Structures are given as C-alpha cells and as structure tokens.
Structure 1
C-alpha cells in the first residue's frame, strides 16, 4: 500500500516548485501552469521508481519552464510597450523565506529583468545555483549536462547579470522609508515632496501590454516623470486608493479603485533617492497578486 496519495505528496513540494518556476519564467500565471503540469506528470508516473520526489519534481518543473521560455521570448518581442515581470506578494512566503537582503534581491523586479538577458539554459543553471543552492552535479542531472558545462553556463550567467556595486540601496530600511514617503506624497498630491524623492535621472517604466493606457516608452528624467504623474493624478483624481505592500521582496505602491487593482509600482533606490520605478498595469499580469492582496 502506498504511503501517500500523489496529491498529498505533491503538496509538500508545491511552494518550492512555484518559487522555482516563477524565478525561471518571471510570470506567476505561467508558473502556476508549469507546476500543475508537473503534478499531472507526477500523478501519472510510476512512483515506485521515483526515489526522491522533490528532486524528480524540480527536474520536471525546470524542463517544463525551459520549454515555455523559448515561446515566451518570442511573445515578448511582440509585446506592446515595455515588458515587466508579473508582481507577486511575498510577505506570506509565497516565493519561500526571504530572510536576507540577498534573497530579497533575487526575486526583485530588477533581478528578474536581468535574468531576461540569459539563455534558457543559463537562467536555469543560475536560478538553481543561486536561489536553491544546487551543486553543479545536481544541476547537471536536472538539465542533462556535464558538470563542466554547468559551471561554464553559471560563470557566463553570473557575468551577464552582474550589476555595478552600489546600484541598489544597501539598507532595506532606507528603501522602505523612501517608498513610504512616495506613497504619502502621491496620496496627498504633494509635488514638491515627490520632487525631493526622485533622482534627477529617474526612469519610469509602464507595462500596460496594450490592454490599458500606459506610456509606450520609458519616461526619463525627474521633470518628465513629475509631469507624467500630474497627468495620471488628473485622470484618476477620484476613487483611487494608494497603499503599500511587500511585492517581490521589497515595499511597493499598490493602486486600487474599489475592488479593482489598477496597478503596482516597484522601486529601485540609491543614495537616498528613487532611481527606477516599474509600474505593472496590464490586468492580465495583476490577477495573481490581486488574489493575494484582496481582502478575505
């Protein structure tokens, strides 16, 4: 008699598998689909020959994601306006424990965008190594590589996603304070306060995906960003509620109109100022985080 039903055994690994799939794909919706496909494979497999279910499932999810990454890249080339990853609320450990600044940075919008520079194989090696602590022997087994090839892919990936030292705010509490001040100033329409929070070369990215009105190109420079925000405030002067939540490991701005989630904005900060804002407004990309944040 089997000790556990496939569903029961699978549930013990679901959270870790979702975290893996999300880091590989940058899409919560596609990550859910990949995890579900892995479950179907697991339920139909001869579990008598599966010695380590967790390793078997991680391999299945990784390979399912590799298949999706190729088609996803082609879709993103046709995407309307800037493409940004789907946001995920992380205060509830949806992406696993994020107990250090390094772990939080691994799931940030900025890092997920850097991972887009990588080939699917490079991304898989890098995520398995950095986020899940796999050794190169384990990675080689998952991806069907040699250990030497795994090491080579990892070195190449690490070099391609490296960022200059000091690009990101070192102290999380400084970023939290900046985001809280931005939310307060935006809520009150305090243009002078917003100006003091933005770096001179700040860039604002809007991802509407052609589904809602959004800037089709990055808005660069403090003055242009302030004019853009003034226009947004005029269009949504009534009924919009601004709040903050932990998304992708860092504080973010959340915009609601009644029960509708209009968008979320993630921030990069450096030297005590906001340097990058990435705002996701495409409703297709907000469904997962809306379900997470909606009142019970």
Structure 2
C-alpha cells in the first residue's frame, strides 16, 4: 500500500463524522459533500507526517471550509436556507446504514436546522463545533479568528438564540410514529376533529415547493394548519405513502409511480405535532439518494 493509499484509507474512516459536521454547519447535503472533499484535497496537499491528531485536524479544516462557504453565501446574497427548507436525511426505519447512523447520531431535525440558519456564520460554527461535537474553544478560536474567550461568547450567544426557538422532540420513536400514523389517517379520512386533536396550539407548517411554486411558505397556528386539511387529503390519497425516518424522526415519503412527490418531517413534542416540514421541490427531491420502499 502506497503512502497516498494509506492516507486515503485513514481519511475514509473520518468521512462520516466530517459529513455530519458539515451538514449541521450548512444544512445542505451537496455542500456538505463539497466541504468534505475540499478537506481531502487539503490533506492530500499537506505534510501529513506533521499532523498529530488527524481527526481533530480534519474537523478543524472542515469547520474552516464551512465557515468560508457560509460567509460567501451571505456575501453573494444567495437565498438563505431560512428561506427554504434544509435538505432532509431520509432512511428506512427497518434498514441500518452505518454512514447514515453517524450522520444522524444526536440527530438535528429540520426545525432545528432552520433555527441554526438565523445565526451568523461565526456563531453557528462555535455552537455546532462545541455544543454538538464537543470541540474545545481553544481549537475553535483560530477558525473564527478570535480568542478562546470570544469563541465561548459566540457559542453562548448562539445558545441563547437557539434555546426555545425549536420545540424539543419526544425521544421515543414508537410514540412519534403513532402520532404520525394518526395524522395520516386523519388526512386520508378528511377528519378535521381528529387532525385538530393531534396538533399543538402553536404548530408551524413549512412547505417548500421550490422557486417555481413560490418558495418556502410558512403557516402558523392550529386553526391555519388544520385549515390545510384538504391539501393533506389530496396528498394522502393521490400518492403512495411510506413511513421513513427523516433526520432521525418519524416521517413520511409520498411517491407517485416510484418518483418522490414530497418528504414530510414531523416534530412531535408532548404527544402533539409541533412542526410539519414538507419538501416538494422536484429539483431537490431528484438529488436525494433514497426512496423508501415497502419491504
């Protein structure tokens, strides 16, 4: 085995972790892959013999690359992810994928990723690397060009903004699935009372059909969301619906003729639906690499 092959094998061992870091930083699976690939290119050009802790070095590089990408996004005034839903991570409930297990470890739901988009790039980096991945502030500080104390303040400020901004999901997947199944039954039956009974009073519905459909639409409150029953019923009766894990939580994938029509993510809190996130942008759905199917 050549030194290059040995280094490549070492890098592949770290790839799932690096992809998880980049996904939480960027909210985009495509951009996360780009950031990880850039980390590999920088590693291949470096003198790897001088790297004592390869995992820490790579995490730092990915963090720096993601920070640059977030700043470039703002500088170009690109569409922020708060104006569209983040990419969902979809998996079958009955299939285990080791790489997706890493990506979904301590999973961040779509609702939380939307909240992270409200942070500025430095705040997001400090919060993600420290609070989600345990990186010490003395390693975060050089990435953001601050002192460790200043990096700690960035994370603290981000934590205050994040706290309470997204509902805390119920941890039990079986409980989540029962509520999602009840939603699907209410939608198929057009049962308004049944739907209302499982919605939280301050429920939020975010629907992203892409640019051609007018972009992200946000509906708030139990009356307004329940008022979408006719839309839910059309979706539930026209499509074939499969249960799936969406960012580690109980969700649904709707298909027509084996083509994904939409992905539905639910945030279940205290036994009620606190948030529904629906991605139906055909261009973005086409880039997702999994359509859950019946066993």
Q: TM-score range by the shorter chain?
A: 0.7 to 0.9
* Residue aligning to 1:207: 208
- Give the structure 1 partner of residue 25 of structure 2: 24
Give deviations 1:243-273, integer Å, cap 9, x for gaps: 2211112111211112211111212233432
The reply on whether 1:140 has 2:141 as its aligned counterpart is yes
User: TM-score, structure 2 length as denominator?
Assistant: 0.83
Residues 170 and 291 (structure 1), Cα distance of their counterparts in 2 relative to 1, 3 Å cut: closer
TM-score by length of 1: 0.83
> Structure 1 266/293 Cα, relative in aligned 2: closer, same or farther at 3 Å?
same
Partners of 1:30 and 1:12 in 2: CA distance: 20
SS of equivalent residue, structure 1 residue 30: helix
5 Å-filtered alignment, 1:155-234, equals: 155-163=156-164, 167-172=167-172, 173-211=174-212, 213=213, 217-231=217-231, 233-234=233-234
SS at 1:153 equivalent: helix
Residues 160-198 of structure 1, C-alpha deviation per residue, up to 9 Å, x if partnerless?
A: 11117x943444343332112223433455444323322
User: Which deviates the most, 90-99 or 128-137?
Assistant: 90-99
Structure 1: runs of 5 or more not aligned: none
Asked which structure has the greater RCO (Cα within 8 Å, sep 6+), the reply is 1
RMSD of aligned residue pairs (Cα, Å): 2.9
- Residue segments in structure 2 that go unaligned for 5+ positions in a row: none
Residue-by-residue CA offset, 1:62-106 (whole Å, 9 max, x unaligned): 1111111123342125x8x9411110126635261756xxx23xx
Q: Does 1:75 align with 2:96?
A: no
Paired residue secondary structure (1:219): strand
How far did residue 141 of structure 1 move? Answer: 4.3
Task: Count matched residues.
Answer: 285
Which runs of 4 or more aligned residues in structure 1 lie more than 6 Å from their structure 2 counterparts after TM superposition?
Answer: none
1:100-150 CA-partner distances (Å, limit 9, x unpaired):
xxx23xx11121112112111111111111121112222224444321112
Q: CA, structure 1 residues 15+235, in 2 after alignment: closer, same or farther (shift >3 Å)?
A: closer
Cα 1:157/1:7, change in 2 over 3 Å? same
Please report how far the alpha carbon of residue 19 of structure 1 lies from its aligned counterpart in structure 2 after TM superposition. 0.2
Paired with 1:193 and 1:88, the residues of 2 have a C-alpha distance of 29
1:276 matches 2:275: yes
More deviation, 273-282/173-182: 173-182
Q: SS in structure 2 opposite 1:134?
A: coil
Selected match of 2:291 from 285, 290, 293: 293
Report if aligned partners of 2:192, 2:229 keep a CA contact under 8 Å in 1.
no
**Which residue of structure 1 lines up, in the alignment, with residue 249 of structure 2?**
250
Change (3 A) 1:29 1:156: same
Question: Take 1:146 and 1:152, find their aligned partners in 2: how far apart are those partners?
Answer: 10
